[in-house]
A = this chain, B = another copy of it.
Amino acid sequence: MAISFVVEKEVPGSLARAGRLITPHGEVKTPAFMPVGTQGTVKGLRPEEVREAGAQMILANAYHLYLRPGSHRVKALGGLHRFMHWEHPILTDSGGFQLFSLAATMSIGDEGVAFRSHVDGSAHFWRPEDSIAVQEELGADIIMAFDQPVGLPAPRERVEEALRRTLLWARRSLAAKTRADQALFGIVQGGLEEDLRRQAARELRSLPFDGYAVGGLSVGEPEDDMYRALEWTVPELPVDKPRYLMGVGLPRNLVEGVARGIDLFDCVLPTRMGRTGTALVPGGRLNLRNAAYAEDPRPIQEGCDCYTCRYYSRGYLRHLVLAKELLGLSLVSLHNVRFLVRLMESMREAILKGEFAAFVEKFRQEEGREVEA
Residues of chain A at the chain B interface (Cβ within 8 Å): 39-41, 43-46, 68-69, 73, 76-78, 83-85, 294-295, 297, 311-313, 315-316, 318-320, 322-323, 325-330
Contact = CB atoms under 8 A, between A and B. Distances in A.
B323 A326 contact: no
Nearest to A40: B319
B325 A77 contact: no
A326 B330 contact: yes
B326 A329 contact: yes
A100 B263 CA distance: 59
B295 A76 contact: yes
Contact of A77 (B45, B85, B316): B316
B68 A327 contact: no
Contact of A323 (B68, B312, B330): B68
A319 B78 contact: no
A120 to B, nearest CB: 11
Best-buried of A44, A318, A327 by chain B (most CB within 10 Å): A327
Nearest to A320: B41
Contacts of A73: 294-295, 315, 319
Contact of A85 (B312, B318, B326): B312
Nearest to A78: B297
Contacts of A316: 40, 77, 83-85
A319 B45 contact: no
Contacts of A40: 316, 319-320
Best-buried of A41, A294, A311 by chain B (most CB within 10 Å): A41
B44 A327 contact: yes
Contacts of A84: 316
Contacts of A77: 295, 297, 313, 315-316
Contacts of A329: 326
A60 B69 CA distance: 37
B326 A69 contact: no
Contacts of A78: 297
5 contacts: A40-B320, A69-B294, A77-B315, A85-B312, A326-B329
Contact of A315 (B44, B69, B85): B69
Given A69-B319, A294-B69, A43 B326 contact: yes
Contact of A68 (B41, B322, B328): B322
A295 B319 CA distance: 39
B294 A44 contact: no
Given A77-B295, A77-B313, 12 more contacts: A40-B316, A41-B327, A43-B325, A44-B326, A69-B294, A69-B323, A73-B295, A73-B315, A76-B315, A77-B316, A84-B316, A85-B312
Contacts of A69: 294, 315, 318-319, 322-323
B39 A323 contact: yes
